[in-house]
């Protein structure tokens, strides 16, 4: 499973990228706003740092304007994936931009039927939102399973990009189901390393090292 990091913070991306933990980046207007920087400037800097897909979201809501904005965003770098919402206009924009050879990430997906439409429109990525479904007492993982089944049934090449990931359990469940990609904030990715028995074992090792006065250098 590929790891995308969901942030516009350059330092956080660089730290994970140095460890080989970044296969791509997802951004959106909210994340750009949080960074306090110009959308084109910060997106260009991320593309220079990361060789994998960098999702940059349009701000328009009608198809013609989404297409125009998508073309402008795609000019930033070859690894830009234009992110459009899963609306009828978004699907129109997806089809046009895909036919032009651009990567497209269709976002805000909450049903397998929506994911089917996005695949038919040629989306490079479909972004089902797990956490937001959990927020309304639905099981976000069932959506990932349904999309995986539908795509496998018909050989769609659209990659499932599991989004709105809130916990390490979300990451593990997505990997079990077979999501192609997951995108998560830096804190969630870094927390994958944590386990109380690892901490307990390390404390015991350190105690033994100190007691035996073991030195390597």
| 130, 144 Cβ separation under 8 angstroms | yes
Is 83 tagged catalytic? Answer: yes
Of 33, 83, 95, 120, catalytic = 83
Q: Closest Cα to residue 84, out of 101, 62, 99?
A: 62
DSSP secondary structure string for all residues of 10-24: HHHHHHHHHTT--SE
Which tokens hold the place of 130? 């797990």
Q: Tokens 């995986």 appear where?
A: 148
DSSP secondary structure string for all residues of 127-178: EEBHHHHHHTT--HHHHHHHHHHHHHHHT---EEEEBS--SHHHHHHHHHHT
Q: Kindly list the catalytic residues.
A: 83
């Amino acid at each position: 499973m590929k790891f995308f990091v969901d942030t516009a913070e350059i330092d956080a991306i660089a730290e994970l990228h140095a460890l080989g933990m970044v296969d791509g980046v997802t951004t959106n207007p909210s994340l750009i706003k949080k960074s306090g920087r110009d959308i084109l400037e910060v997106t260009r800097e991320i593309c220079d740092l990361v060789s994998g897909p960098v999702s940059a979201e349009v701000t328009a809501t009608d198809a013609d304007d989404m297409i125009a904005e998508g073309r402008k965003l795609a000019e930033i770098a070859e690894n830009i994936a234009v992110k459009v919402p899963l609306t009828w206009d978004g699907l129109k924009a997806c089809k046009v931009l895909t036919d032009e050879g651009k990567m497209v990430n269709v976002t805000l997906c909450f049903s397998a039927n929506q994911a089917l439409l996005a695949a038919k429109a040629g989306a490079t990525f479909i972004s089902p939102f797990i956490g937001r479904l959990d927020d309304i007492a639905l099981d976000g993982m069932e959506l990932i399973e349904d999309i995986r089944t539908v795509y496998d049934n018909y050989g769609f090449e659209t990659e499932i990009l599991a989004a709105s990931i809130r916990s390490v359990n979300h990451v593990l469940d997505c990997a079990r189901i077979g999501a192609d990609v997951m995108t998560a904030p830096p804190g969630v990715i870094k927390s994958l390393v944590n386990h109380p028995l690892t901490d307990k074992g390390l404390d015991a090792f350190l105690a033994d090292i100190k007691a035996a006065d073991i030195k390597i250098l």
